[in-house]
Amino acid sequence: MTNDNPTGKKLWDGRFSEATDAFVEQFTASVGFDQVMADQDIRGSIAHATMLCQVGVLSEVELTAIIGGLEAIQAEIHQGIFSWSVALEDVHMNIESALTDRIGSVGKKLHTGRSRNDQVATDIRLYLRDQIDIISRLVIRLQRGILALASQETATILPGLTHLQVAQPITFGHHLMAWYAMTERDYARFQDCRARLNVLPLGAAALAGTSYPIDRLLTAKLLGFDGVAENSLDAVSDRDFAIEFSACASIMMMHLSRWSEEIVLWASPQFDFVDLPDRFCTGSSIMPQKKNPDVPELVRGKTGRVYGSLMTLLTLMKGQPLAYNKDNQEDKEPLFDTVNTLRDCLTAFADMIPAMVPKRENMRAAAMRGYATATDLADYLVKKGLPFRDAHDVVGKLVGVAINQAVDLAELSLATMQAESRLISDDIYAVLTLEGSIRARNHIGGTAPNQVDSAIQRASVRLDALDQQVN
């Protein structure tokens, strides 16, 4: 709901001799999007008022009136009945004006010792801190889904690819755990970002601090900040914390996009490795046979959207002299969009990944193509005493023979293989099986089924610990 504020009364218009142009009023207003920070703004105002009371600027009666008024306004906002005014520009002035209307001149004292500059910097930090906590829980839910699927596929053979060409046999569980490893780093980046942004700007006022006897450490404690910004100019003007968040989000979206690319390929008839449940797909308006993997495709597309927001914030910040400039009003829409996009994409993947149905026989059949066990043959020769480069040459020749005969390496006769190296004996056929290949990678980080299972168990322990921290 909006209010056009027919009086046109501003909280700052004492210096001005004419009303703001109607277009300029609309052009400069941010309340249409920054009202999303209303809860954070009210939380910060309550903490600020509490501090002002502690240092003697407000009385206990005034504090009670301010807190009661702010809580009533917050209730109206949650109910959708609060009247937002474009003329009042932003979420801060809308709430302050409503407070004054509700409790009288006492409401005008709330802004003592602060500016909208340090107020908005505080609100954004509170908002991002809240959102990182939500995102962290979504990442953990996604990780649970990956582990659940991986635990069922520790022995499912899949062709491992380089250059999108068959390279070596791996297990599907091992592949999924590669995804999991990416999410662990993503999670850690968000926690690092949270630690750096959890510093209180409030008290910096417009840019130079305030002459009032404020207690910034008390305000920081009330709002759960780890400390206070040490420099007032920096506190109100830099948005590097928002840029850092957007960079973390971009990296995570890059990972989701890579997975999306794989899922799109896997769901195609050419690969046919997985089946996506119908609820994550759509059909064609003209081709009745189609089942389109729209969710991963859309996540792949939304990655570019998040990248764009990061570039917007970097460009926004790069030319600003100290301290605050109106340019910074443009930081919120790309930031809010990034938050919403990432949350939606994480939710989609957390639902979709554990619901994917692997087609195990198709995966195994694909691993049989492309001479995936060639490296195993080379390793076999090295263990028999042949230098690796010589072994590489021998195997390359045998692959050429197999291609000409249109057979797998394991289908070559012993005589054919011994023609290239007398070191080869009939025990080679156990080495050239897909199962033998994956079992041979039996070390931490390898694709052997028992190692994949161990990796899942270790990951589960770490995830349980994170879950306890978040909740």
- Asked whether residue 1 is assigned to any structural domain, the reply reads no
- Asked whether residue 2 is assigned to any structural domain, the reply reads no
One domain for residues 193 and 58: no
Residues 159 and 150: their CA atoms lie apart, in Å, by 16
One domain for residues 107 and 130: no
The C-alpha torsion from 299 through 300 and 305 to 310, rounded to 10°, is 100
Residues 205 and 71: their CA atoms lie apart, in Å, by 24
One domain for residues 86 and 36: yes
Model pLDDT, residue 20: 63
Contact between 96 and 210 (Cβ < 8 Å):
no
Token code pair at residue 85: 């005014």
Residues 91 and 391: their CA atoms lie apart, in Å, by 71
One domain for residues 331 and 428: no
- Asked whether residue 329 is assigned to any structural domain, the reply reads yes
Read out DSSP for 144-204? HHHHHHHHH-TT-EEEEEETTEEEEEEEHHHHHHHHHHHHHHHHHHHHHHHHHH-EE-TT-
- How many helices (H) does the chain have, and how many strands (E)? 19, 6
Model pLDDT, residue 3: 46
The domain boundary residue, chosen from 345, 363, 381: 363
pTM here?
A: 0.92
- Asked whether residue 18 is assigned to any structural domain, the reply reads yes
Distance of alpha carbon 82 from the chain centroid: 32
The residues annotated with a catalytic role in the active site are 163, 284
Token code pair at residue 96: 């302050």
Model pLDDT, residue 285: 82
- Asked whether residue 58 is assigned to any structural domain, the reply reads yes
One domain for residues 65 and 126: no
**pLDDT values of the chain reduced to their tens digit, one per residue, 471 residues:** 444 444 445 554 655 555 667 788 888 889 999 999 999 999 999 999 999 999 999 999 999 999 999 999 999 999 999 999 999 999 999 999 999 999 999 999 999 999 999 999 999 999 999 999 999 999 999 999 999 999 999 999 999 999 999 999 999 999 999 999 999 999 999 999 999 999 999 999 999 999 999 999 999 999 999 999 999 999 999 999 999 999 999 999 999 999 999 999 999 999 999 999 999 988 878 887 888 999 999 999 999 999 999 999 999 999 999 999 999 999 999 999 999 999 999 999 999 999 999 999 999 999 998 899 999 999 999 999 999 999 999 999 999 999 999 999 999 999 999 999 999 999 999 999 999 999 999 999 999 999 999 999 999 999 999 988 877
**Residue among 320, 331, 324, 313 at smallest CA distance from 117:** 324
Model pLDDT, residue 5: 47
CATH label of the domain that carries residue 280:
1.20.200.10
One domain for residues 357 and 214: yes
**Residue among 116, 119, 95 at smallest CA distance from 107:** 95
- Asked whether residue 5 is assigned to any structural domain, the reply reads no
One domain for residues 69 and 172: no
DSSP 239: -
Model pLDDT, residue 12: 47
Model pLDDT, residue 14: 53
One domain for residues 254 and 330: yes
One domain for residues 138 and 216: yes
Model pLDDT, residue 22: 77
CA-to-CA separations, 93 to 11, 73, 101, 182, in angstroms, rounded: 7, 13, 12, 42
Residues 249 and 279: their CA atoms lie apart, in Å, by 26
Q: What is the separation, in whole angstroms, between the first and last Cα of the chain?
A: 35
CATH label of the domain that carries residue 57:
1.10.275.10
3-state secondary structure of 53: helix
Contact between 371 and 399 (Cβ < 8 Å):
yes
One domain for residues 384 and 355: no
Please give the tally of structural domains in the chain: 3
Model pLDDT, residue 17: 53
- The range of the structural domain enclosing residue 64 comes to 13-112
CA-to-CA separations, 250 to 36, 310, 338, in angstroms, rounded: 22, 7, 9
Contact between 332 and 92 (Cβ < 8 Å):
no
One domain for residues 220 and 283: yes
One domain for residues 191 and 306: yes
Q: Where are the alpha helices (DSSP H) in 208-293?
A: 216-223, 232-237, 240-267
